Amino acid sequence: MDFVKLEMDGALATITIDRPKALNALNRQVLSELSDAIGQVAANRSLRTLIVTGGGEKAFVAGADIAEMANFSNAEALAFCEQGHRVLDSLEALPIPVIAAVNGFALGGGCELALACDFIYASEKAKFGLPEVTLAVIPGFGGTQRLTRIVGRARAKEMIFSGDMIDAAKAREIGLALEVVPPAELIEKCKKLAANIAKRGPLAVAQAKRVIDAGADLKLGDANAIERDGFMKLFATADQKEGMAAFLAKRPAEFKNA
Ligand code: DAK
């Protein structure tokens, strides 16, 4: 892969969008490589967390590639949009937690990539924005929908209508970024959380992610039915027996992902 790096280290995978000369902008090749990398993560059952970040000093991802999009026909725009939706949906559907480590500009499609992760940790120099209206288009990789679900309709409209960037502190204030840390500490902060996640019951973490996401757009009663289903299913796993036996025996649990 030319522009996407996939590293696996024990239970942790890291995907780096690595095209720093274009501030990691997403063109069709980058999206296709990202799709391959996500497929490899999905196929590896020893992984417990994925970190997504940007290569170089300046950017997470500065958006979809404007040079490539500039002369798109309607049909090409639709195909690109569908490719973006497919890739980000597959990222969102991974059964393991996905942390966006936003190390710089997260604009347009880059902000949308971060929004498709489970949550965002940001460096103090991160900048977020959906500037598409500046280019006379709208966000096309799910940003109008995912941002609205995370920060609420009015804040999403403010960002999308104005096209303005916000800094990391503002992103945290509105609930877009969960944590903001000095640049040099960003990956360590994400790794620390990943190490904690790796100690927990993997099927339980996956089930928690599934029920939270599946219930998010439902009425509470229907969403709680999904929770009941997930809770019940875990009692058929060896890890549940091990987790509770280990607690009662006052020893650390050894989970088998089974
Ligand atoms: N695409 C292509 N190249 C980009 C880029 C981008 N999004 N962002 C930066 N670059 C390139 C620059 O052109 C420059 O290339 P060279 O001139 O060196 O060849 C290089 O990266 C360094 O950028 P700058 O020289 O501009 O660096 P600065 O520090 O001065 O400025 C900046 C950094 C992030 C403020 C600036 O680069 C900038 O404003 N970039 C564009 C940000 C942006 O507008 N992003 C949103 C893109 S639109 C859809 C599907 C998807 C989308 C919409 C619709 N459908 C099909 C319906 C999504 C749209 C977007 O993401």
CATH 1.10.12 residue ranges for the chain: 202-249
CATH of the structural domain 4-198, one choice from 3.90.226.10, 3.70.10.10, 1.20.1300.10, 3.20.20.70: 3.90.226.10
Q: Report how far ligand 1's centroid is from the alpha carbon of 130 (Å).
A: 11
Cβ atoms of residues 94 and 100 within 8 Å: no
DSSP line for the chain: --SEEEEEETTEEEEEE--GGGTT-B-HHHHHHHHHHHHHHHH-TT--EEEEEESSSSEEE--B-HHHHTT--HHHHHHHHHHHHHHHHHHHT-SS-EEEEE-SEEETHHHHHHHTSSEEEEETT-EEE-GGGGGT----SSHHHHHHHHH-HHHHHHHHHH---EEHHHHHHTTS-SEEE-GGGHHHHHHHHHHHHHHS-HHHHHHHHHHHHHHTTS-HHHHHHHHHHHHHHHTTSHHHHHHHHHHHTTS-------
For 202-249, which CATH class? mainly alpha
Cβ distance 105 to 75 under 8 Å?
no
At 219 the pLDDT is: 98
Say how many Å lie between the CA of residue 26 and the centre of ligand 1.
Answer: 9
Residue type, 161: F
Within the chain, which residue ranges are assigned CATH 3.90.226.10? 4-198
Residue 128 in contact with ligand 1 by CB distance below 6 A: no
Q: Is the CB of residue 62 below 6 angstroms from any atom belonging to ligand 1?
A: yes
Atom of ligand 1 nearest to the CA of 63: 61
Ramachandran region, residue 9 (left: φ > 0; alpha: ψ -120 to 50; beta: rest) = beta
What integer pLDDT is reported at residue 208 of this predicted model? 98
Query: Catalytic residue at 242?
Result: no
CA–CA dist 54, 104 (Å, integer): 8
Q: Token pair for residue 160?
A: 């999308």
Q: Is 108 in the pocket of ligand 1 (CB under 6 A)?
A: yes
The answer to whether residue 112 is catalytic is yes
Ligand 1 atom closest to Cα of 67? 2
For a ligand 1 pocket test, name from 17, 57, 66 the mutation site with the most ligand atoms within 8 angstroms of its C-beta: 66
Sequential pLDDT tens for the chain (258 residues)? 999 999 999 999 999 999 999 999 999 999 999 999 999 999 999 999 999 999 999 999 999 999 999 999 999 999 999 999 999 999 999 999 999 999 999 999 999 999 999 999 999 999 999 999 999 999 999 999 999 999 999 999 999 999 999 999 999 999 999 999 999 999 999 999 999 999 999 999 999 999 999 999 999 999 999 999 999 999 999 999 999 999 999 999 999 999
Q: Tell me, letter by letter, the H, E, C secondary structure of 97-129.
A: CEEEEECCEEECHHHHHHHCCCEEEEECCCEEE
Indicate which residue's Cα is closest to atom 6 of ligand 1: 65
Rounded distance, CA 129 to CA 60, Å?
12
- Any atom of ligand 1 within 6 Å of the Cβ of 81: yes
CA of 38 to the centre of ligand 1 (A): 24
Q: pLDDT tens across 150-200, in order?
A: 999 999 999 999 999 999 999 999 999 999 999 999 999 999 999 999 999
**pTM of model > 0.95:** yes
Contacts of 179 (CB under 8 A, 6+ apart): 121, 122, 172, 189
Give me the residue label for tokens 């219930």: 215
The residue type of 122 is A
Any atom of ligand 1 within 6 Å of the Cβ of 67: yes
- pLDDT score for 181: 98
What pLDDT, on a 0 to 100 scale, did the predictor assign at position 136?
A: 97
Which of 3, 21, 23 is the pocket-test mutation for ligand 1 (most atoms within 8 Å of CB)?
A: 23
Catalytic residue, from 112, 124, 188, 254: name it.
112
